[in-house]
Structure 1
Amino acid sequence: MNRLIIVKGGGDLATGIAHRLFRSGFDVLITEIAQPTVIRRTVAFASAVFEGRMTVEAVTAVRATPAEVAGCLRERLIPVLIDPTCQIREQAKPWGLVDAILAKKNTGTALNDAPVVIGVGPGFTAGVAVHRAVETMRGHDLGRVIETGAAEPNTGIPGDIGGYTLERLVTAPADGTFWPQKQIGDIVAAGDILGTVGATPVVAAISGVLRGVLYPGLTVTKNMKIGDIDPRARVQHCWTISDKARAVGGGVLEALLMAEPCFRLPNA
């Protein structure tokens, strides 16, 4: 069995997926854009694009070129390629492909991209562009494998954490270049200045721990998400995969294994 899975996207949710697949014995390759707008940088393999390598819960990803992929896989590393259109799939010929870009729509994934194609979150319908989809909306169905129908549409409202939804998001107050003044893991209070976009301050709406924030110097647009405050204020959560990412990762693993006859239960 070909064990290679390509995961499109390296954000914190995609990292939860890649981490689960890697620890389950698969070879994993991640594709990303040149400047990922990743928020939870401390638990995102996309950070390897900026840092060269990124370790999340004892699994290491490294920025790589197509020529370096085979060597990375032999060393049990996850290669992260700057490959926005996932051209590597033509060379790598993966058994499975997981679209975890979380663009809220399909940005180019097709059923013939790999023998098994999984779509994560809004924008994917089982049997249309992907074989199966996995639910990402917090609640009763989080992580559910969808064999018929579509994932829930994007509501624009994040899941409730500690009684807060939209309030826990940090958004850009204007167009410009973002420069943070706080670091991931810092405890902040409502009203604190978290950074600036141009000359405009970015102000915390609630108190908690700064769980995520964009890399310094990135260009942002007004109302773009640039940070995340967790009102539970558990600093250790900043360096571990979230409950949501683990649930979705489990769903993706299930969806992939359902496609392999040797893993199917009798009459399943």
Structure 2
Amino acid sequence: MKKKLTGPIVLVRGAGEQASGVGWALAKAGYRVIMTEVEQPLMVRWPVCFGTAIREEQWTVEGLTSRRATSLETCKKVWEKGEIPVLVDPQLKCIPSLRPAVLVDGIMAKRNSGTHLNMAPLTIGLGPGFTAGKDVHLVIETNRGHNLGRIIESGPAEPNTGIPGNISGYTWERVLYSPYSGVFRTERKIGEIVAVGDVVGLIEDETCHSEQVLAPIEGVLRGLLWTSTRVGRQVKIGDIDPRGKVEYCKTISDKARAIGAAVVLSILEQGENEEVN
């Protein structure tokens, strides 16, 4: 039987790739994690995202299961099972009733979309868009490199470079973007190997004009939006990993693990708030 989650409540905004690494680490440490999402999240690496439970009702990432929740009462039952509830609540209407000890903004929007200091006794922002001591208590560095996972107690994270992380010498080349607004359609699957020039999918606009999305490099499709997903212009729709390791498609990334560990450490360093359990 899975161990019940009985620790302090931690609310994580977002349930995408990096936020899921945080939720996984927190739940493993025994915290009562609740994650919030929008009704139709865009998640390229959905196999490792707890937010996939919004679509599938439940989803398991490396032995930990998330479950779509409809109320705070449902959340309590999910914690009893040792699982993570995911609630559709982008406006965080649950906060007054939930009274979380910690709030982590893991939306990764490169900007602050409304998180502020008085939302919880301890608020943490991931990456650019947050300033420790101003709009959140702590910031976790998310930029790959020497400072990844650093806990910032005063000031902002490193500025957004706009350049995807370097993997085996590739940055822009490994990420697939929509050429214009429309519906993304594909018959490809995450885990497939592609060669340069292979058709990964196509974007079809409202006039039924379509344009193919081609693989610019060789590698494994580590991430891909679900087919028939509506997207805007220059939205990330896929991710090719030049290392070609299929097993990486279904496991939490090194970056997400580092960020998750940093969040757990930052909470332990600050001490648990005895008034909110």
1:118 and 1:256 in contact (8 A); partners too? no
Shift of residue 251 of structure 1? Answer: 0.9
Alignment of 1:51-200 (within 5 A): 51-66=56-71, 67-198=73-204, 199-200=210-211
Return the alpha-carbon distance in structure 2 between the equivalents of residues 190 and 54 of structure 1.
32
C-alpha root-mean-square deviation of aligned residues, in Å? 1.3
> Which consecutive aligned stretches of 4+ in structure 1 deviate over 3 angstroms post-superposition?
none
Please state whether the residue corresponding to 2:47 is helix, strand or coil.
Answer: helix
The percent of aligned pairs where both chains have the same amino acid is 47
Return the alpha-carbon distance in structure 2 between the equivalents of residues 189 and 173 of structure 1.
20
Alignment partner, residue 230 of structure 2: 219
Please state whether the residue corresponding to 1:129 is helix, strand or coil.
Answer: coil
2:255 to 241, 244, 254: 244
Query: 5+ unaligned residues in a row in structure 2: which ranges?
Result: 1-5, 205-209
Shift of residue 2 of structure 1? Answer: 5.8
How many residue pairs match? The answer is: 262
Please state whether the residue corresponding to 2:66 is helix, strand or coil.
Answer: strand
Deviation per CA, 1:50-106, whole angstroms, max 9, x where unpaired? 111110000000111113111111111100001111111211111100000001010
TM-score, with structure 1 as normaliser: 0.95
TM-score, with structure 2 as normaliser: 0.92
Return the alpha-carbon distance in structure 1 between the equivalents of residues 227 and 39 of structure 2.
15
Alignment partner, residue 46 of structure 1: 51
Deviation per CA, 1:165-211, whole angstroms, max 9, x where unpaired? 01000111221001122100000111010111112111111110000
Output the amino acid matched with 2:112. N
Output the amino acid matched with 1:45. F
